[in-house]
Amino acid sequence: HFDSPTPFCKETADKIATVCAEEKSATLSNLAHMMSLYSTHSYSRDCTNWINVVCRYLHDAFAEITFNLVTYLAELLEKGLPSMQQSLLQIIYSLLSHIDLSAAPVKQFNLEIMKIIGKYVQVRPGFAL
């Protein structure tokens, strides 16, 4: 809904912005600003850029649980609506770009997350995950 946010999406973004602003944290203040830009449909760049910025601020504020968030999003990818798959893959990709994967639990990452993501990503022949 990035290009034409529904009233529900705008209201949700406003509420997230309010909660983030109340925390008096620089990182969450930045996230609040991004949510406000979404709710007013005034972010001047594309959806992918918005997702990357929001994910960076989420990781900056909650680095200790970013991997758990990726795990949850992978579950949503597997069990959620097909219409959400592309957006979820973009968000997962963006969050993974911020995580120190050398510190991630390898078994959980390989067995759970990559197995799920692999179902939804087309890989070129000769390319190994």
Q: Are residues 51 and 73 in the same domain?
A: no
The whole domain housing 88 covers 63-120
pLDDT of residue 119: 86
Q: Are residues 53 and 68 in the same domain?
A: no
Q: Are residues 51 and 1 in the same domain?
A: yes
| Domain final residue, candidates 28, 44, 61 | 61
Nearest alpha carbon to residue 27 among 62, 65, 51, 52: 62
Helix (H, G, I), strand (E, B) or coil at 122: coil
Q: Does a structural domain hold residue 3?
A: yes
Q: Does a structural domain hold residue 128?
A: no
pLDDT of residue 110: 72
Angstrom distance (rounded) from CA 85 to CA 27 = 28
Q: Are residues 11 and 51 in the same domain?
A: yes
- pTM for the structure as a whole: 0.85
Angstrom distance (rounded) from CA 74 to CA 121 = 12
Task: Give the pLDDT means over successive 10-residue stretches in the chain (129 positions).
Answer: 89 97 93 96 93 96 92 94 93 92 74 83 60
Q: Are residues 13 and 43 in the same domain?
A: yes
Domain count, the chain: 2
Q: Are residues 56 and 90 in the same domain?
A: no
